[in-house]
Amino acid sequence: MGELSVPVQDEYVPGFLIQDKKEPSQMPIYHRHVGYEIVWLKEGEAMYMFEEKVYRLRKNAILLFKSSEFHRVSLKEGATYERIVVMFTEDFLPDSHPIYQTFSSFLEQLSSPHFLLNLFVWQTEKLQVITDNLLLEHRQQDSWKQKEAIELYLLELLLFICREVKNEHKDILYQKIEQHQNKKMAVHDRLIKEINDVWNTDWRLDNIAAKLHMSKYYVSHFFKEEFGVTIQEYILQRRVFEANKLLSETDIPIHQIAEYVGFMSASSFNRRYKEKTGITPNQYRKNNKHFET
């Protein structure tokens, strides 16, 4: 297949990508990129974490989201994690196509551009056929009109999803599912929101706990148990991520970047950054500079 890529920060994101993955690997850091992602969890359980929302996926769940949302996947140790992942950029499909317009406008109209759809077993049979066609076409080497064929199968996938979302007979069911999930995940959402409000400040665990009306020991244990990292590690990942954007996309001095992402001094920032990445901020900037001096 020909190269279908668009630049984003320091990497290239495929115009279209589909993967059938069974290994229980997880993305160890928070990240974001251009386009959309569709994740169909076929077996197991996984937690997808956004800035102000957390979703627990179980078998036959589909998560739709804009990939530009800061996100991370968290798994419990030894958990099964079999999934189909579809990624595509905004310019891969024609803007004028009504199915694509419906899909993109649906996500845009939500309070946050991500949505969890739970399917019944019998609904997955058609989904399996569509994804099998996409996987087969994507694996072909230089087949005639390959991009056009992938577009057709991708539009069929979006049509399937939009119909399931909009099916009038399921409106009440999905409302009940969403209400149940919101109630169960409310603690996760509140905790993530509070932490993302203070990630670049001189934060204190007891202040976060007080806002949540919980003990700091419970908050600390709960976060590590549910999200797989400590609060300190989560915040460090966020600070490094935000620093990388500024290092690669601007010429802001490193000491100012250090202050913006929450460090008391440039030396502290340099030390922790190197501990986390293996290189200094200045080395990262030299290797990933996307601006003209």
CATH fold of the domain at 5-166: Jelly Rolls (2.60.120)
Q: Smallest Cα–Cα separation from 238: which of 38, 13, 50, 20?
A: 50
Domain segments of the chain as ranges? 5-166, 182-229, 232-288
Looking at the chain, the whole-number percentage of residues with pLDDT higher than 70 is: 86
CA distances from residue 225 to 76, 85, 188, 231 in whole angstroms, order as listed: 8, 26, 11, 11
Residue 43 one-letter amino acid: E
Determine the Cα–Cα distance for residues 31 and 72; give it in Å rounded to an integer: 7
**Per-residue pLDDT tens for 238-273?**
899 889 989 988 999 999 999 999 999 999 999 999
Helical H runs in 116-250?
124-139, 146-166, 171-198, 205-212, 216-227, 231-249
**pTM, entire model:** 0.72
The whole-number pLDDT of residue 9 equals 38
Q: How many CB atoms lie within 10 A of CB 260?
A: 15
126-137: pLDDT as tens digits:
999 999 999 999
Answer CATH for 232-288 from 2.130.10.10, 3.10.20.600, 3.10.20.740, 1.10.10.60: 1.10.10.60
CA dist., res. 116 & res. 62, Å (int): 6
